[in-house]
Structure 1
Amino acid sequence: MYGNIESGQPRQGQEWGTGGPCGDKACSDLNPMEENPYEPLDPPITAPSPKHAPDPPVSPTWQSCPQDRLLLVGAVALGVSVLLNVFLLSLGTSKIAALTAALEDAEKLQPNSNMASRSFLLYNRAHNMCVEARGQQLSAAPCLPEAAAQRFQWLPGMRLWNAERRRCVTAAAELNLSVVTLQPCREDGRLQRWECGEGGLLALAGRRLYFNYGNNVQQTVMLYVGDREWSRWVVHGSDEELCTRSCQSRLGGFAWGLGVCFSLS
């Protein structure tokens, strides 16, 4: 009996408007849906998405400010300055110590007195030669009284030095045939101390090693055990022994005269 009625067609006497069977209003407005008694009224609690997760609480930490940074930089600069000052102080102390040692050595290299004898030439009669300084070497040469390289002086402590080179007559060793040269004067230089014997002998102090002409081509002065003519020296222009010009006298096996001494300054 309902087979000829289409669900989509209006019944007789019933008109549908343009809005459909419910008219201009939506059907949902006319027939509101009933609430589901089995559904909770409160909205479901869902876990927040990672995008909207709240930021984790920040633990309180020390945050620097410009003033704190300035204090830190100042402390570092002060520490570096202190270390630098300590380094410079230690460096200066070592340099001062080295300078003091150098000054002490320099004092040893200088005569312990500013007194010296009159200058004279060392003359050997056997060869008619005088001693001459050629650099640090001592050699026999024709006598030239006006040559400063041939003029010698006695210093306190029975040391001979060359007036031009301002260095002391020094034996290389306490050995026969050791050369005699000019070296810086030392207060403790036992190889720089000389003594006179009879007949013009000039010996290394305390040893029978004599200041000798040197029988060699260069005529280099040396120590020699022989005590004859080549080991005998006098003041040029006179018959005076060398020690008559010295600043000291001594009693004993060797005769030393007391010469006239004057200041080097």
Structure 2
Amino acid sequence: MAAQVISISNHKGGVGKTTSVVNLGAGLHQLGKRVLMIDMDPQANLSQSLGIFEPEKSVYTMLRGFCKIEEAMQELELDLQLIPSELDLSGAELELSMEAGREFILKDHINKVKDNFDFILIDCPPSLGLLTINAFTASNQVFFPLQAQFLATQGLKKLLEVIEKVKQRLNQDLEIGGVFITQFDKRKILNRNVKDAIEKHFGDTLFKTVIRENVALAEAPSKQTNIFKYNPKSNGALDYWGLAQEVLERTTVNA
């Protein structure tokens, strides 16, 4: 069966998007799934969190047609791969803007390896430009990480509008696969109130698993690894393990 392709997106920064790609990917891999992570952000935080700096071949060289997708992939572990990013990707939107079918470039590459993976997770940039459109066009689902803070849902309206347009014009299979809360502290009244509001707004779309505020999640990237290797007994590891199980359940039910 071809991979579930999931974009993890929120154009509000600091919501735990990259942290979620790293650790959800690692969690699904620990559950026995073949996982490919794609860093579509020119800031390359996902790549650097996993110890890859200044790659010779990257998502940029792939999108520009300078290498094949198989050449851009780097094996982190058996059945866990990453296509890294680099700063040059920031110029890709302009460079690709005149290409015919420019919204489908990533999808065309992914289709060549889709059968080799169970999950392909795309770390989207914090913008709604051509790179994000490429990610959405290639995906079955979009997941939104949301902070349990007052402004969490601000700006989501625009993101949902873009998803609807992509669904209508470019990818009729695209669905909002789920929303999950990050950086949650149950001791804070504001966090609890915002969580209640998010639950009312998103209903069944909201994952039951909540990612708690956890210092180990912030520390793991400095060791260039995921939370399960850095501190497997931490709340961060427990929460992303729960999220990975829930994602697997949902995608199995909807397959």
Could you tell me the TM-score, scaled by structure 2's length? 0.26
Greater helix proportion? 2
Q: Please identify which structure carries the higher strand content.
A: 1
Higher RCO (CA < 8 A, seq sep 6+): 2
- TM-score of the superposed pair, with normalisation by structure 1: 0.25
